[in-house]
Amino acid sequence: MNGRYFIELAEICEKIKETTSKLEKISKLGNFLKNLNDEELSATIRLLNSDILPPWYNKEIQVGYSTLSSIILEISGSSKEEFFKVYVKHGDLGETAEELLKKGKALNPLVQDKLTILKVYKTLLKISEYSGEGSYQSKKNALLNLFVNASPIEAKYLVKIITGELRIGLSEGLLEESLAYALGIPLTNLREKVLILPDLSEVAIRIKNGKYEEIDLELLRPTSFMLAEPMSSPEEIANYFNKEIIAEYKYDGIRAQIHKKDNKIRIFSRRLDEISFYLPEVVESISSLKGVFILDSEIISIKNDKVLPFNILQRRLRRKNIDKKLIEEIPLRAIVYDVLFYNGKQVYKLPLRERKELLKNIDFKDRIELGFFKIVRNSAEISKLFEESLNKGFEGIMIKDPDSPYTPGKRGKAWIKLKKEFDTLDVVIVAAEYGHGKRAGILSDYTFAVKDNNELKVIGKAYSGLTDEEMEILDRKLRDITIEDLGYKIIVKPEIVLEVAFDSIQISDRHDSGFALRFPRIKRIRWDKSPHEIDTIEKVREIYERKKAIFA
DNA sequence: TCTGATGCGTC
DNA sequence: GTCGGAC
DNA sequence: GTCCGACGACGCATCAGA
């Protein structure tokens, strides 16, 4: 197989990693991309964008940390202890592979079959095809075939590409900039098209072949979702807009983009996976609606007038067998609140208030319903609706600018979300783990517990919420109070108290308290509190029961 | 045949 | 989903 | 302002191995 060598790509990545200059990254990569043919350009973009298989391909590589580390062990001939030491040091599997291969006695030191970009890409595609008994070995063999022919630096980038964590200061944003540079078009033009047709590789090839103008929203192909920004109070929202705004309930469900063209129906998830298959009764309901359209909606489950909690709803996803019983047990409905395409017309650029008018033309019925919305003018009205939403068992409200177009992929301030104020618990740190990537080598991940009479019961983990500085202070302190060093993790004396915020409490067997927190984040370190003053398992149970009362 | 580990998507 | 930080 | 990386819990499918 001829073509550009993978080592070229690996070396470009290395240069990108070494410089912090954005312009330099862009010109280095851009110049490389410029000279690739269509097939190689497409493959390179997919490799760099952790997009080896587009989401609607409905296949997965199913190779992760575990498989890769066993391969690294095998070809480097290092001991498990050594592997671990190096891994904790780098906090990155790719860097680990490089270091171990450099000093290891490689299985096959002679490079006989130089890797090309296409060979790598095609091998990864092939790996996704293996399934069934023995597939783990087949995947591993195919990978070994790549790795024995890889130099240390190539091995590093193979690993990084497969895990999807390049960590070289280049992700979709800069990749797009480099591509715009290579194609000689303004970045904004490229961005606009990518949001509408979220497949960088395909967009690039189409533009390269002079088809820029033809790229637009397409029925039965997913487009990016418009996203919302959080605000923390009705006052903040009212002040920000200072005009009449549209308010909707916010549902704790699954985002769904519904496409209908003639009798073809496809539903896409937030990450653009097709999920129609899991939702047969929803598809059936959609098929009875008239018209050709793309709708934005949230799928939730309501039973006996009560909202089912998210973890129950989740049982409807990624399921192979969907039987009658399940459909009755977790009945679905799609709450529709926006329209992007309607009867032959692109309507996503129209202002929201006009799109809401269009929605009235659709004869919603069965499991598909038009989402409630109303105009609000001030913080008091926002507050009122917010309370109403919580009482109904929903998550909060969405506030939207009636003059705004639907901007795929953008998290702008045209849509604002207001969620329930979180509860907090005072907990004590009982263990800590080393971080990854930029947090390599520092104890940045904390396991914490609440009090159960004279015992401590673990209830969750968190790192989010602390500044780098606070993390460093904790790191030093934790090393001082270590009881046991497990290599990747340390057990510490229960001394440091944290105030942890969360959205809700769920029953769980992950931790020995029997509970877990949803969206835990650290509010602050309570240096002023002693571990005797932390919250108890009774309080946890109380919060859990309180929330349960409004659920089915 | 069952169980635990793994990967990956949802939020 | 969450968050802090870099640009 | 915007993007990005580094992280949480959950449930399902799959596969290896007991």
Tens digit of pLDDT for each residue in A168-192?
A: 888 888 899 999 999 999 999 999 8
| pLDDT band, very low/low/confident/very high, at A433 (cuts 50, 70, 90) | very high
H/E run at residue A458: strand A455-462
Q: Is A432 left (phi over 0), alpha (psi -120 to 50) or beta?
A: beta
pLDDT tens for each residue of A334-354: 999 999 999 999 999 999 999
User: What pLDDT score was predicted for residue A550?
Assistant: 61
Same domain, A348 and A493: no
Last residue of some domain: A367, A401, A419?
A419
Report, in ranges, which bases of strand D sit under 7 Å from a protein C-beta: 1-16
The residues pairing with A333 across neighbouring beta strands, listed in sequence order, are: A300
Rounded to whole angstroms, how far apart are CA atoms A339 and A359?
7
pLDDT at position A420 is: 87
Last residue of one domain, picked from the residues A163, A184, A200:
A163
pTM: 0.95
Q: Considering chain A, what is the average pLDDT of its residues?
A: 93
- On whether residue A349 sits in a domain, the answer given is yes
Rounded-to-integer distance, Cα A515 and Cα A525, Å: 22
Question: What is the CA A269 to C1' B9 distance in angstroms?
Answer: 10
The CATH number of the domain holding residue A65 is 1.10.3260.10
Q: Which residue shows structure tokens 């609606």? A: A289
Tokens 């590589």 — which residue? A61
pLDDT at A5: 96
Domain for residue A35, yes or no?
no
Same domain, A58 and A72: yes
Write the pLDDT tens digit of every residue in A82-133: 999 999 999 999 999 999 999 876 555 555 789 999 999 999 999 999 999 9
Name, in order, each residue with C-beta under 8 angstroms of A136's C-beta and a sequence gap of 6 or more: A67
Q: How many domains does chain A have?
A: 3
Is A250 a known active-site residue?
Answer: yes
In the complex, which nucleotide's C1' lies nearest to the CA atom of residue A232? C2
Note down the domain range covering A437: 424-547
**Separation in Å: C7 C1' and A22 CA:** 9
What's the Å distance between residue A382 CA and nucleotide B10 C1'? Answer: 29
Q: Are residues A409 and A439 in the same domain?
A: no
What's the rounded mean pLDDT across residues A460-481? 95
Provide the residue type at A292 as one letter: V
Q: Which nucleotide is nearest to A165 (CA to C1')?
A: D5
| Length A69 CA → D14 C1' (Å) | 19
Give the mean model confidence (pLDDT) for residues A516-545.
96
Quick one: A407 and A268 in the same domain? Answer: yes
Nearest nucleotide, CA A254 to C1': B10
Last residue of a domain, which of A123, A147, A163? A163
- The protein residue nearest nucleotide D3, judged by CA to C1', is A173
One domain, residues A286 and A413: yes
Proximity of residue A255 CB to strand C below 7 A: yes
**pLDDT of A235 higher than 70:** yes
DSSP string, A15-46: HHHH---HHHHHHHHHHHHHT--HHHHHHHHH
A288 and A386 share one domain:
yes
